[in-house]
Amino acid sequence: MSAPQRPVLFVSLPESGLLNPLLVLAGELSRRGVPDLWFATDEPRRGDVERVAEGSPVEFASLGEVLSELSAVSWEDGVYREVTQASRFRAHRAVIRQSYRPDLQAEKYRRLESVVEKVEPALMVIDCVSSFAVDLAVKRGIPFVLSVPFLPSNVLTSLNPFGPSGTPRDFPVPHSGLPFPMSSAQKFRNELFKWRTLAMFFNPAMGKVLSEDARIRKDLGLPKPNPMTRIDRAEMVLCNSVAELDFPFPVPDRMKLVGAMVPPLPEAAGADDNGADDTGVMAWLGAQSSVVYMGFGTITRLTREQVASLVEVARRLNGRHQVLWKLPEEQQHLLPPRESLPVNLRIESWLPSQLDVLAHPSVKVFFTHGGGNGFHEGLYFGKPLVVRPLWVDCYDQAVRGRAHGVSLTLDRPREMDPDDVVDKLTRVLGDPSFHERAERLGALQRAAGGRSEAADLLLSLPALA
């Protein structure tokens, strides 16, 4: 008889963009009856983990409460303004300064270490931002798979001029939002972006952080950090994209492109093939002929002026298109009086499933911040996009969507100027080529296999054989 399979341990930060693809994969393994599944993340996500078990159990392992310094959702307004400012490099720098916290990473490392000692995993599946989990897997010699919810080049391209890179030297650096190929001026900006990233670590304040990191790593018995360790030491890199959505470069064999990680649909509890759901949104969608869906993720914080601009956008689309807007409850006080809202605008603070909405044939365009999950999921369902980039990787997705003819990007994303927004939405809605190209890229993503292919690849690894 074969030896009993040892556990699979998923590890993720609590951010939706990192966590959700791993929840989908864990759910797929549960439906297949794979035993000994564990999921380690922060305590507030306990319920999300427990809900994915549809066959074999998925055990929750707590990494403690969310550390506000590491969670973009809970950053103070001043930090939010810094990381979402117009300057792409300064925003990129602000994110690094905010999130590079060796003391907090060490806290998560020690909590995960206790989990690993209890679970004794045969394999770890780690989101690509959880560097503490990669450090632990490497130190303990535990095989691991890296989960990437971004474009493949995001984790393969060096952020500094001397670092090892899996893309050509003249490839656009992550978070720059630069196109490919580039003009001479753009190539200069690209190199400058790398040099400025390197230079920030010579700042005295950052020098103190580096010294702290070196001390902590020595105490934990960890080697010096290397940004390519997570790629080079991984058994496999699971990327929720396809090559056709990135700019061309040779993808390494260990990186498996499986497209967006989408659960079985309909996803919402209570939703069925007749369009019933507990909010009535699906039934409403079924009664419409053309809907613009606006959803800007969990991080976006709109101002009163931006909210007013989006209400005006809906008003100008009245008579041609309905608008469904997912606007968090805590931001709805910024709306004008309900009686003054245009009749074609439906606002929901919560949707049972954004994926069910994007899959609906009445939705004709997705107006999004362009985060990795939303970008890929919208195109998975063949929906062209209008992108209002928020920060870091959103600019990279936006420039590729525009280059591939599946999206347009706002000229003035911070102002949310109604003229600009209506112009982009009208152009995408009125030109069939946007929809046709989005459908083609959606078909490529679906053919890549998503959660089913990812599960097959995972279960074929020697660690689980």
Give me the pLDDT at residue 272, please: 45
Give me the pLDDT at residue 2, please: 46
Contact assessment for residue 132 and residue 109, using Cβ atoms and an 8 Å cutoff? yes
DSSP structure class, residue 163: S
Residue spans in the chain of domains classed CATH 3.40.50.2000:
8-259+449-464, 281-447
Contact assessment for residue 140 and residue 116, using Cβ atoms and an 8 Å cutoff? yes
We find that the CATH architecture of domain 8-259+449-464 is 3-Layer(aba) Sandwich (3.40)
Q: State the Cα–Cα distance between residues 445 and 376, nearest whole angstrom.
A: 9
CATH code assigned to 281-447? 3.40.50.2000
* 3-state SS class at 325: strand
Q: State the Cα–Cα distance between residues 390 and 387, nearest whole angstrom.
A: 9
How would you write the pLDDT of the chain (465 residues) with one tens digit per residue? 344 568 999 999 999 999 999 999 999 999 999 999 999 999 999 999 999 999 999 999 999 999 988 888 888 999 999 999 999 999 999 999 999 999 999 999 999 999 999 999 999 999 999 999 999 999 999 999 999 999 999 999 999 999 899 999 999 999 999 999 999 999 999 999 999 999 999 999 999 999 999 999 999 999 988 889 999 999 999 999 999 999 999 999 999 999 999 999 998 755 444 444 556 999 999 999 999 999 999 899 999 999 999 999 999 999 999 999 999 999 999 999 999 999 999 999 999 999 999 999 999 999 999 999 999 999 999 999 999 999 999 999 999 999 999 999 999 898 899 999 999 999 999 999 999 999 999 999 999 999 999 999 999 999 998
DSSP structure class, residue 233: T
Q: In degrees to the nearest 10, what's the CA dihedral of 37, 41, 46, 51?
A: -50
